[in-house]
């Protein structure tokens, strides 16, 4: 049986709340990078500084 990998990501929103998201593929951002959540959190995009 093949093991499935998943990534559990915590994102701190601008208002201080934290959203916990799970992705089946590695998210495009690393710890500390600013991101924008799209499609209700199903997709994540890097935000330019």
Indicate whether 26 belongs to any domain: yes
Residue 48 has pLDDT above 90, yes or no: no
14 lies in a domain? Answer: yes
| pTM exceeds 0.85 | no
Domain that holds residue 15: 7-46
Indicate the number of domains in the chain: 1
**Rounded distance, CA 24 to CA 13, Å?**
22
Residue 11 belongs to a domain: yes
Residues 45, 26 contacting (CB under 8 angstroms): no
Mean residue pLDDT of the chain comes to 89
Tell whether 15 is covered by a domain.
Answer: yes
Q: What pLDDT score was predicted for residue 19?
A: 93
Find where tokens 């201080």 sit. Answer: 16
Residue 2 included in any domain: no
């Amino acid at each position: 049986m093949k093991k499935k990998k998943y990534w559990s990501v915590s994102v701190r929103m601008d208002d201080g709340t934290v959203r916990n998201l799970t992705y089946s593929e590695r998210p495009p951002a690393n710890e500390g990078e600013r991101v924008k959540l799209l499609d209700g959190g199903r997709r994540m995009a890097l935000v330019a500084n």
